[in-house]
C-alpha cells in the first residue's frame, strides 16, 4: 500500500543523546520502507557524523515541502516545531522522550510500529487552535507572535506582586494584584495552567482559559471564555513584568504596556495512531483511577 506521505522530515530534541539515537532509528526505519527522510538541519548538526547518510533540510524547506514532520522529544520540542511550521500547517507526529508527553503520544519503544500504522493510512487527525498575541506600547506594536499552549504574564525577577487590568471585548472585567496570569488554549490547559489549578479543556472546546497566578483575592477564579473573544491585559504602574509565549520566547514589558490576545487563524494539525483517545491519554498521564497506596 502506497503511503499518503512521501516527504517526511525528522526533528529532534535539543542536546539529547537518546533523542539522537531515536532520530537515527526512525530514519533507518523509514529508509527500510523505501522513503528518504530529511533530518532537520540543527538536529543533524547535533547528531554529528552519523547523520551524514541522510539528507538535511532547514525549517523553511520543511515548511515548504514536507508532507509530514515527525518530532522526537518532549512537548517542548513539538511546541517549538509547531510554532515554526504552523503557518504551513505541516502535519506533526510526536514521539515522546520527555516526561508527561500530552502532545507527543507515540512511545519511544513502539515508535516505528505506530509510525508504520500512520504511514499505512491508519491514523486520526486533529486540529489544535493557536493564540495570536501582540504587545502594544504607546500605540505601537513592539512584539508579535503565536502560541499553541499559553501566554503567561508574570512578575519576572520581582519579588512582589504585579497589578493587571483585564478587558474582554473592550469591556472592563477587573483589576487584580497577583503573581501574573496564564492565558491558555485547550492544548495548554494541561500544561502550566493545570499546575495553577486551571480547568482542563477538551481540544474540541472553542475556549480560552484565564488562570490567575496566586491572586491577592480569594474571589478571583479561573474563567473560560469563548475563543471568539478579544482579550487585553494592561500592566499597571509601577512595576515591570515579563510575558512568556509557549515557554519558547518572551517579551519584557513595562507599566502601561498592553497585551492583546485573540484566536489565531493558524492551526496545528496533529496525527495520532487509530488507537489514540484523549481520555485514555489523560488517564495515563494524570494517573486517574490509580490505586491509592497504603502504608
Q: Which residues are catalytic?
A: 75
CA–CA distance, 279 with 289 (Å, rounded to integer): 12
CA–CA distance, 178 with 195 (Å, rounded to integer): 16
- For the chain, the residue count is 295
CA–CA distance, 7 with 4 (Å, rounded to integer): 10
CA–CA distance, 70 with 93 (Å, rounded to integer): 5
CA–CA distance, 241 with 256 (Å, rounded to integer): 11
Burial 175-192 (b: 16+ CB within 10 A, else e): ebbbbbbbbbbbbbbbbb
CA–CA distance, 70 with 24 (Å, rounded to integer): 12
CA–CA distance, 263 with 171 (Å, rounded to integer): 18
Report whether the peptide linkage leading into residue 60 is cis, meaning its omega lies within 30 degrees of zero: no
CB count in 10 Å sphere of residue 215? 20
**E-only strand ranges, 79-206:** 92-96, 106-107, 123-137, 140-147, 150-154, 162-168, 171-178, 180-184
Amino acid at each position: 500500500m502506497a503511503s499518503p506521505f512521501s516527504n517526511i522530515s525528522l526533528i529532534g530534541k535539543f542536546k539529547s543523546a537518546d533523542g539522537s539515537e531515536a532520530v537515527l532509528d526512525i530514519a533507518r526505519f523509514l529508509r527500510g520502507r523505501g522513503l528518504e527522510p530529511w533530518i532537520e538541519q540543527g538536529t543533524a548538526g547535533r547528531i554529528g557524523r552519523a547523520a551524514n547518510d541522510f539528507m538535511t533540510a532547514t525549517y523553511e524547506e520543511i515548511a515548504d515541502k514536507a508532507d509530514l514532520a515527525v518530532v522526537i522529544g518532549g512537548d517542548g520540542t513539538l511546541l517549538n516545531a509547531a510554532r515554526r511550521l504552523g503557518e504551513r500547517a505541516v502535519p506533526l507526529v510526536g514521539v515522546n522522550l520527555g516526561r508527561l508527553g500530552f502532545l507527543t503520544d507515540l512511545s519511544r519503544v513502539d515508535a516505528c510500529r505506530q509510525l508504520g500504522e500512520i504511514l499505512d493510512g491508519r491514523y486520526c487527525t486533529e486540529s489544535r487552535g493557536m493564540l495570536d498575541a501582540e504587545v502594544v506600547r504607546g500605540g505601537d506594536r513592539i512584539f508579535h507572535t503565536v502560541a499553541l499552549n499559553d501566554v503567561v504574564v508574570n512578575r519576572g525577577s520581582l519579588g512582589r506582586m504585579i497589578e493587571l487590568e483585564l478587558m474582554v471585548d473592550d469591556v472592563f472585567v477587573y483589576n487584580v494584584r497577583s503573581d501574573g496570569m496564564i492565558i491558555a488554549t485547550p492544548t495548554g490547559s494541561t500544561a502550566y495552567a493545570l499546575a495553577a489549578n486551571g480547568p482542563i479543556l477538551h481540544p474540541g472546546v472553542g475556549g480560552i482559559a484565564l488562570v490567575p497566578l496566586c491572586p491577592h483575592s480569594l474571589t478571583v477564579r479561573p474563567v473560560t471564555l469563548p475563543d471568539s473573544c478579544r482579550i487585553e491585559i494592561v500592566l499597571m504602574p509601577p512595576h515591570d513584568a515579563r510575558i512568556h509565549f509557549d515557554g519558547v520566547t518572551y517579551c519584557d514589558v513595562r507599566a502601561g504596556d498592553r497585551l492583546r490576545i485573540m484566536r489565531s487563524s493558524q492551526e496545528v494539525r496533529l496525527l495520532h495512531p487509530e488507537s489514540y483517545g484523549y481520555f485514555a491519554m489523560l488517564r495515563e498521564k494524570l494517573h486517574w483511577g490509580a490505586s491509592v497506596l497504603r502504608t
